[in-house]
Amino acid sequence: MSINNTIAKQVAGAVRAIAQAGSASLGADCIWHAMACLHLLEQEGISDAHLVAGHAAWRVHGKAPSAVVCHHADMNGVILDPSSGNVLFHAWVAHGDQMFDATTYQLREKLAGLDAFDGGRTPVTWCPDYLLVTRRECRSWPSVRDGFRHGLFCYDPVPALTARVLAHPDSHLEQYAIGLLDPAYQALKRGERLMVHGPCGSGAVA
């Protein structure tokens, strides 16, 4: 069974709402997003999906040279603790030839953070709520970096980094998170509007 767009939209919506309300590290919580998605996908009988870690980048505007959100680096074979902040990496869900990333709603805010740091004003014309794509839709990192069309992206798995991420405590969902995700997901499946309030903000999905 593949991940269809209906399931992806509902799963990503529930995960986003809980993260926006409760994540103290929004924008640096890709492992949690991936594990939360995997938990909800299992409820749909998609039990063979798995987390993948590696390098990724997204072009959010076609004209501005700097309009690329990048978690891409040449690690030269050195794998560091993902929680140390010493390595650029990203985590997403893989299922067969499909790749599912529920963090792309953060692209605009990530770029705004970079602009605040360096004084830039980078335009953003592409910031999807989530991505459900196939491997053949990915581009190379140079193509994303140097491209002139928004919506280009690359996902480059790094098996050694995936193993390190999966061995880290962050790759396990707490029961508290599960207790929030499950009713949020069921509400979206029933077609209800979801509003979640938490210590870090609010998340809403229509």
Question: What's this model's pTM, rounded to 2 decimal places?
Answer: 0.90
Count of domains observed in the chain: 1
Residue 87 pLDDT: 58
Residue 82 pLDDT: 42
81 pLDDT more than 50: no
83 pLDDT more than 60: no
> What's 101's domain CATH number?
3.10.550.10
pLDDT, tens digit, 9 for 90 and up, residues 113-166: 877 877 778 899 999 999 999 999 999 999 999 999 999 999 999 999 999 999
Greatest C-alpha distance within the chain: 48
CA distances, 51 to each of 22, 27, 82, 97, 143 (Å): 22, 18, 14, 13, 25
Q: Which domain holds residue 156?
A: 5-205
- Bridge partners of 155, per DSSP, are 56
For the segment 71-93, the average pLDDT, to the nearest whole number, is: 60
For the segment 92-99, the average pLDDT, to the nearest whole number, is: 98
